[in-house]
A and B are shown apart, each in its own frame.
Chain A
């Protein structure tokens, strides 16, 4: 079945770049997403990439997709303390339910 895997923890220093990695198994995934969840809050869509793209950049965020290896990454440039949160990788085929990973907890050290 569908599966999305992420590392559980990442710790970086303020001002450094963060790279959060994700692998998925469903080759029919059309869209791949990154969501952010702060404590006690819902999920905030950060960005998404269509499966025929290799890269997408949006301000401090860069998404890289290696479709052959089914590997997705999110790079956050100049990481700030406000970036501390749980980041979820998810996939879908469009108007279908999202399949999420377990989330990566990012801790930013001042």
Chain B
């Protein structure tokens, strides 16, 4: 069974630029999560999708971050414009709706 796929693996941008991350969850997994992991911290939820609907986006900085999950499969997370403090690892996870979340390898973002 293929795992959660994410791309790109690394991204370096300048502040005020835009960036987008892509996630392909495990086949059949209805629930998809985006987490932000700042260096030295544990991951923190940005947004949770159930199929193509948003379940929880209370921690998403909506003035600059947006996410979508069209057709209830792949998802994209966008930052526009990026700030220095957005430097982090962006982790995508999926689950079939039960207790186990499986994580992708993450996208490492550096904002200069």
Contact = CB atoms under 8 A, between A and B. Distances in A.
A30 B40 CA distance: 26
B43 A48 contact: no
Interface string B76-112: 0000000000000001010101111111111010000
Interface of A: 4, 30-31, 35, 40-45, 48, 50, 88, 90, 92, 94-98, 100-103
Contacts of A101: 42
Contacts of A88: 42-43
A43 B103 contact: yes
A62 B97 CA distance: 26
Nearest to B105: A42
Nearest to A8: B40
Interface residues of B, number: 26
A95 B99 contact: yes
B24 interface: no
B51 to A, nearest CB: 12
Contact of B98 (A45, A95, A102): A95
> 10 tightest CB-CB pairs across the interface, nearest first?
A100-B42, A97-B45, A43-B103, A42-B103, A42-B105, A31-B99, A42-B106, A102-B42, A100-B43, A95-B97
